[in-house]
Amino acid sequence: MTESKAPAVVHPPSLLRGDIDDPKLSAALRTLELAVKHKLDGVLHGDHLGLIPGPGTEPGESRLYQPGDDVRRMDWAVTARTTHPHVRQMIADRELETWLVVDMSASLDFGTAVCEKRDLAVAAAAAITFLNSGGGNRIGALIANGATMTRVPARTGRQHQHTMLRTIATMPKAPAGVRGDLAVAIDALRRPERRRGMAVIISDFLGPINWMRPLRAIAARHEVLAIEVLDPRDVELPDIGDVILQDAESGVTREFTIDTQLQNDFARAAAAHRADVARTLRGCGAPVLTLRTDRDWLADIVRFVASRRRGAMAGAQ
């Protein structure tokens, strides 16, 4: 009797800042692409549209109602004007435009497990890019570190995808004491106005929850997805006694003695903040995919995509 081997855990490659044309960076991104596509093929069966809204998202012309038509597409204005029932046809729209808002503030430059949160954010951006590629789909990005914001226009093609991901991976670190501002980054996505598509927000969401208004405005027109990237130390403190902790964004340093009371207080505060984040995202209509530096991030994406597809299939029945 042979023992079955557990599936290998895939960790994001270390995507250290460097030159955008660094061949090592290009090789790491190619490895990432192969890992994503290989892992997801078993779930998507070659159809890499697991996160994309279905066709028919833009209204087209009206026509006479026929038995079997979806009554939810009734065009009541034309029906009233002509006295004959009409339905609104939908334009099959598989050419999706996806925008990534990638938080690269200083709190992402941290990790106590197999990678930094920054590496995980780049890996998440790569996964969304490869999932939504093909079929003429366009993808662009807004990358913000609190001090600067870089916009990569939405375009098609594999070369563009790799250039965009290299731009994300090489985003400079913000100067000391500069806090990230996720609300400003999300709000920048509203201009110029775009046809209906998809917006993906990648962040640790550790800062103030002041981004609800711009995210709701985005969600009113686009499908939205939130990807939360976390490290174990974002949710709990280890029992290690005296320690010096630094706020990565403000630069403030303090010395603590980590005891049971501090561990419990920190865990409660972290859980309360995450609950507020989740509640706010749900209120904006954004499903949440949580990735952690101490877990198999690709397995978490596979489970999320499979769940989304099951939900979509159940809703279509």
Cα 205 from Cα 280, distance rounded (Å): 11
Cα 106 from Cα 178, distance rounded (Å): 8
State pLDDT tens for residues 205-229: 999 999 999 999 999 989 999 999 9
Model pLDDT, residue 252: 82
Structure tokens at 266: 């920190």
Q: At what angle do helices 297-316 and 23-44 cross, to 10 degrees?
A: 40
pLDDT band at 37 (very low <50, low <70, confident <90, very high): confident
State pLDDT tens for residues 74-92: 888 888 888 999 887 654 4
Let me know: does 104 contact 248? Beta carbons within 8 Å. Answer: no
Between 27 and 60, the higher pLDDT residue: 27
Helix (H) or strand (E) holding 31: helix 23-44
pTM for this one?
Answer: 0.81
Ordered by where they begin, the domains of the chain are: 58-91 (no CATH), 95-297 (3.40.50)
User: HSE of 310 in the Cβ direction (CA atoms, 13 Å)?
Assistant: 7
Cα 203 from Cα 184, distance rounded (Å): 13
Cα 249 from Cα 81, distance rounded (Å): 60
Between 122 and 178, the higher pLDDT residue: 122
User: Quick one: average pLDDT of 167-185?
Assistant: 89
Cα 287 from Cα 225, distance rounded (Å): 5
State pLDDT tens for residues 268-294: 999 999 999 999 999 999 999 999 999
